[in-house]
Amino acid sequence: MPMKLEAVNDFVIKFANVNGSGSASANTLFAKAIMRMGVPVSPRNIFPSNIQGLPTWYEVRVSEAGWLGRRGGADLMVAMNPQTWEKDVVEIEPGGYLFYDSTKPLHTDKFRSDVTVLAMPLTEICNATYSDPRQRQLFKNIIYVGALAALLDMDIAEVEKLVAEQYKGKEKLLEPNLKALHLGRDYALAHLPCPLGITVKRSDKVGDKVFLEGNSATALGAVYGGATVCAWYPITPSSSVAEAFARHCRKFRTDAATGKNNFAIVQAEDELASIGMVIGAAWNGARAFTCTSGPGVSLMTEFIGLAYFAEIPSVIVNVQRAGPSTGMPTRTQQADILSCAYASHGDTRHVLLFPADPKEAFEMTADALDLADRLQTPVFVMTDLDIGMNERLCDPLEWDDSRTYDRGKVLTHDDLESGKRFGRYLDVDDDGITYRTYPGTHPKRGSFFTRGTSRDRYARYTEEGSAYVDNMQRLLRKFETAKQYVPAPVLHESPTPARHGVIYYGSTACAMEEALADLELEGVPLDALRVRAFPFQDSVIDFAKAYDHVFVVEQNRDGQLRTLLINEGVLDPAQISSIAHYDGTPITARFIRSEIEERLAAFNVRPLRRSAAAGER
Amino acid sequence: MTYLAKPKLHHPDLPANSLGFTRRDYEGTISTLCAGCGHDSISAAIVQACWELAIEPHRVAKLSGIGCSSKTPTYFLDKSHGFNSVHGRMPSVLTGANLANRHLIYLGVSGDGDSASIGLGQFAHSMRRGVNMTYIVENNGVYGLTKGQFSATADRGSKSKRGAVNSEEGIDLVCLALQLGATYVARSFSGDKAQLVPLIKGALSHHGAAFIDVISPCVAFNNHEGSTRSYDYVRHHNEAVNALDVITVHREITTAYEPGTLQEVRQHDGSVIRLRKLDGDYDSSSRISAMSHVQTRYAKGEIVTGLLYIEPDAEDLHASLGTVDRPLNELGEPELCPGSAALAKFNASLR
Ligand SMILES: Cc1ncc(C[n+]2csc(CCOP(=O)(O)OP(=O)(O)O)c2C)c(N)n1
Ligand code: SF4
């Protein structure tokens, strides 16, 4: 009899499924039911770049403490995919559990001696109950959710309630789903060791938190931020931003009187066209955005340079995935930091925002629309697949109704009428940001020519070196001004004085916060700074300089944020090193902790060479 | 000097249009193109057309790509906002601009390299989307600005200035525009102002994707013997299918032509295009016969000009998207932001 893992509200369960088997909604149902019991959950889709047949996983971390990062390992594996059996079995923690469809029982050498096997003849039960092949497939998923509810001692009423919500208005489907749920539960209660050592117990740690997908939050941010034009081209993992924008707009932006749309969404022919439309719309005074991922940004760079140089507000949501090239299109990374910060030829620098969760994705997308107008420049919202395509628990979204859109320096008809000479690129306020007019504003004044070619302060084409330098210097001034408008970094100070610092950003945050807490408990104090935007405020550079050593935790091979920090802050590369996780899965607290511990241990070892050399003398 | 302002001396006798503007009010800065370049004649035709239509210059948005042709928006309508975007991508920028404010008049100016080579995709998609605009290609069969390479509209077998023979098939943008769903399609010649001006007027009055391919000889690189885009070649091979006259809503409509040879087309905005048929068989209301006519004559070495196709009651992109009549760039928080109460509901749905 193997030893058994024991834990209440603190474990990882992983579902190994076959893509296209309809498991997604059953798995989400399972995660949501735990959340409804007041226990924080954090699910992650791990899926391949294909539509049907290949393996897909859904990993649910249950954590009373509220940790939302991946932990690593699985305490209970629901192994529904024979293709990945070997790999899945290996992943189970010692003392863990393996749930499988025993319609065709497996030989004992297929199992591990330190794992408890939970065998349930799912296919057999389905075949006996349902005649339609699709039903057999779909209900199999609900049946295992019912069984798990019993095994984990979950409140079946919560699951039932969720099923009822899901099939509201489709009563025909409700009954059979509830029946399947009970079929699974009854079997487990009768035949399996219910409850297991790992269980879910009702708690109150969820509070008023919401369970929300990042891409949907991003899209809602665009709605609240006043975007009226969205031009996009399908690419995983960003497509659902545009699709959610369309959904939210249909709900919130249809003119009640006429039924017409207060928005325009165009699925463009490619990314070149989508950013072109954004630029055209923004030039003409509408708030516009596009959503894409790395390959799309690559295609957009010529236009992004135009938007930078011609000073046209444009918002680009980059839901990052693993590159280079097609890389791992359905895996997560933070690997477009440099290519976005300096996108395009020539000297350019762009504003980047780094949301850490769906709530920030919502806020920063709305902010990006303000910032782009204020600064008249491209602004990137740098989310990633981990935030974008997973549901996360986060604080409820908030909106201040007194907030008004910052349309930046736009001269109206009356402004122009009242007189002074308008110069499109005159730095009147000495902050690098100049005044613009929308086309058609005034019959005689305020029109100007927009071009990606060099021009003077009155927007007249010129190749005079001095006018070019004057303009490029002003653009630098503007970038400096941007620091005061972008979101400030968040500091986590250790209660005990720390010699070392950590910088992190974006989706890494949830794992990082857990790692920091663990390290603190182990007596490793670290000060940490979560960077939320580029350009870096002075406080970011000051932080990077203030410690013996600073780690930059990120999800790419080359430590791109580290490079950007060194470059922009003129930092000593020896004093700042990167902790890089880039296999396409979201970074874990375990990984961060062990990397930091290892490095710190290495710092404490006295350099042998030097002492030996000293002895020789 | 990289910028030449045109002195604004108004001759007292210059005729004014119904808005009180003279032709000078529709001009831009002095052209820096080669003397004799066809593109300058097109700019002049645009000035004339806008003046005749009494368009408010500031209500026009003029957009272009990159190339000699794409430089021309600086040389007309200096009271309107201009946008010289990137090579081949004017259509997307124009589309975006149009989405933001459907009440302006959109004029896209492009070259054949710009539209038929690097920008073929954007050209095609703007036509099929039915963006309400006048899209003019100043077609010289070469890359002017980069000094004489063949463009994708150069005819197979035509010769470059240095004597190289084009071995690739030429793209006919008119046929493409017809196939892709443009609702006003014309071809003209920069040297034929009498034909070009009314064609531009008709296009500007058209509500939908209007495309005009204007053969515009490049005197620097493509005006020699062996070129099918030279002044001489076009003059000798031009076959006009009709002559037209555009009468705007403001003017009374009177009949001046012989019945039977005259066709009147009333457009969306009330303007009337009066077509006098030169070719008795030509039917400008049929896409298919337009395509076949252009191709048949092309096989004989002829360049068909005139208004080749018109769908007077065309619908534009805004109609297919169902957007509100008010320009999107005028909407503010009340129309755009659902507010905190809606957000509270949204939050509740996520628990
Ligand atoms: C991405 C890119 N590639 C190449 C160029 C160089 N380029 C400038 S204009 C031009 C061709 C212009 O030809 P066309 O559009 O026919 O206009 P024309 O000058 O003949 O009027 C080229 C290739 C560029 N500006 N951008
Ligand atoms: S090079 Fe050709 S197209 Fe360019 S300005 Fe000169 S004549 Fe015109």
pLDDT tens digits, one per residue of A110-161: 999 999 999 999 999 999 999 888 888 889 999 999 999 999 999 999 999 9
Distance CA A106, CA A124 (A): 15
Kindly report the number of other CB atoms within 10 A of residue A190's CB atom.
9
Crossing angle between the packed helical segments A171-191 and A122-129, to the nearest 10 degrees? 140
Q: What pLDDT score does B255 carry?
A: 52
**Minimum CA distance residue for ligand 2 atom 8:** B37
What number of CA atoms fall less than 13 Å from residue A433's CA on the CB side? Answer: 19
pLDDT digits (tens, 9 = 90+) for A39-51: 999 999 998 887 7
Phi-psi region of A388 (alpha: psi -120 to 50; beta: other; left: phi over 0): alpha
Chain A segment 23-62 residues within 8 A of B by beta carbon are 35-36
**A148 and A30 in contact (C-beta within 8 Å)?**
yes
Query: Considering CB atoms only, which of A210, A264, A461 is closest to B347?
Result: A210
pLDDT digits (tens, 9 = 90+) for A521-553: 999 999 999 999 999 999 999 999 999 999 999
Distance CA B279, CA B265 (A): 17
| Across A74-94, average pLDDT | 97
* Centroid of ligand 1 to alpha carbon of B148 (angstroms): 10
Residue with tokens 């290609």: B137
Q: What pLDDT score does A615 carry?
A: 46
Crossing angle between the packed helical segments A133-151 and A156-166, to the nearest 10 degrees? 150
Q: Is B114 in the pocket of ligand 1 (CB under 6 A)?
A: yes
Burial class (CB in 10 A: 0-12, 13-18, 19+), B260: exposed
Longest dimension (CA), chain A: 91
Query: Considering CB atoms only, which of A253, A286, A462 is closest to B3?
Result: A462
How high is the mean pLDDT of chain A?
Answer: 95
**Range name among A285-299, A357-371, B123-137, B239-253 with the lowest pLDDT average:** B239-253
Hey, is the C-beta of A132 within 8 angstroms of any chain B C-beta?
no
Residue type for A550, please?
A: V
| Across A553-564, average pLDDT | 98
**A555 and A531 in contact (C-beta within 8 Å)?**
no
Chain B CB contacts of A464 below 8 Å: 2
* Centroid of ligand 2 to alpha carbon of B155 (angstroms): 19
The 8-class DSSP code of residue B272 comes to E
Q: Which atom of ligand 1 is nearest to the CA of B65?
A: 15
State CA A369 to chain mean position distance.
19
**Range name among A243-247, A498-502, B7-11, B103-107 with the lowest pLDDT average:** B7-11
Q: What pLDDT score does A611 carry?
A: 46
Tokens coding B227: 């070129």
Write out the DSSP string of A302-351.
Answer: HHHHHHHHHT--EEEEEEE-B-STTSBTTS-----HHHHHT-SSSS---E
Q: Is the pLDDT of residue A616 over 60?
A: no
* Centroid of ligand 2 to alpha carbon of B211 (angstroms): 22
Hey, is the C-beta of A467 within 8 angstroms of any chain B C-beta?
no
Beta strands in A161-209, from DSSP E residues, in sequence order: 198-199
Q: What pLDDT score does B278 carry?
A: 86
Tokens coding A173: 């489907």
Strand, coil or helix: B274: strand
Q: How far is CA B266 from CA B244, B258, B290, B309, B314, in A?
A: 13, 18, 19, 14, 12
Burial class (CB in 10 A: 0-12, 13-18, 19+), A213: buried
R_g of chain B computed on alpha carbons:
21
Q: What pLDDT score does A610 carry?
A: 47
Tokens coding A13: 């369960």
Q: What pLDDT score does A614 carry?
A: 47
Torsion of CA B31, B101, B108, B250, to 10 degrees: -80
Q: What pLDDT score does A137 carry?
A: 86
Q: Which helix (H) or strand (E) holds A604?
A: helix A589-604
**Range name among A342-356, A538-552, A592-606 with the lowest pLDDT average:** A592-606
* Centroid of ligand 2 to alpha carbon of B35 (angstroms): 8
Q: Is the pLDDT of residue A452 over 70?
A: yes
Mutation pick for ligand 2 pocket among B69, B219, B227, B230 (CB with most ligand atoms within 8 Å):
B219
**A457 and A466 in contact (C-beta within 8 Å)?**
no
Q: What pLDDT score does B8 carry?
A: 64
Contact call for B89 and A440, based on CB within 8 A: no
Distance CA A272, CA B198 (A): 34
| Across A464-476, average pLDDT | 98
Contact call for B338 and A224, based on CB within 8 A: yes
> A467: which residues sit within 8 A by CB, 6+ positions away?
A454, A455, A456, A457
R_g of chain A computed on alpha carbons:
27
Chain B CB contacts of A228 below 8 Å: 100, 328-329, 331, 336
Burial A29-68 (b: 16+ CB within 10 A, else e): bbbbbbbbbbbbbbbbbbbeeeeeeebbbbbbbbbbebbb
Q: Is B69 in the pocket of ligand 1 (CB under 6 A)?
A: yes
Low-confidence ranges of chain B (pLDDT < 50): 1-2
Interface size A-B, in CB pairs within 8 Å, comes to 234
Q: Which helix (H) or strand (E) holds A34?
A: helix A23-36
Ligand found nearest the CA of B222: 2
Distance CA B111, CA B113 (A): 5
Strand, coil or helix: A519: helix
Chain A CB contacts of B30 below 8 Å: none
Strand, coil or helix: A204: coil
Q: What pLDDT score does B2 carry?
A: 47
Residue among A395, A451, A455, A462 with most chain B CBs within 10 A, to mutate: A451
Residue type for A134, please?
A: R
**A351 and A536 in contact (C-beta within 8 Å)?**
no
Chain B segment 194-213 residues within 8 A of A by beta carbon are none
**Minimum CA distance residue for ligand 2 atom 4:** B144
Distance CA A195, CA B255 (A): 93
Residue with tokens 């320096």: A409
Q: Is the pLDDT of residue A512 over 90?
A: yes
Contact call for A261 and B324, based on CB within 8 A: yes
Q: How far is CA A75 from CA A8, A89, A478, B221, B343, in A?
A: 12, 11, 52, 74, 37
Q: How far is CA B268 from CA A9, A273, B113, B121, B196, in A?
A: 67, 28, 32, 28, 21
Contact call for B350 and A280, based on CB within 8 A: no
Write out the DSSP string of B17-72.
Answer: -TTS-BGGGGB-SPP-SPTT-HHHHHHHHHHHHHHHTT--GGGEEEEE-SSHHHHG
Hey, is the C-beta of B6 within 8 angstroms of any chain A C-beta?
no
Chain A CB contacts of B323 below 8 Å: 260-264
* Centroid of ligand 1 to alpha carbon of B66 (angstroms): 5
**Minimum CA distance residue for ligand 2 atom 6:** B34
- Phi, psi values for residue B106, rounded to 5°: -105, 125
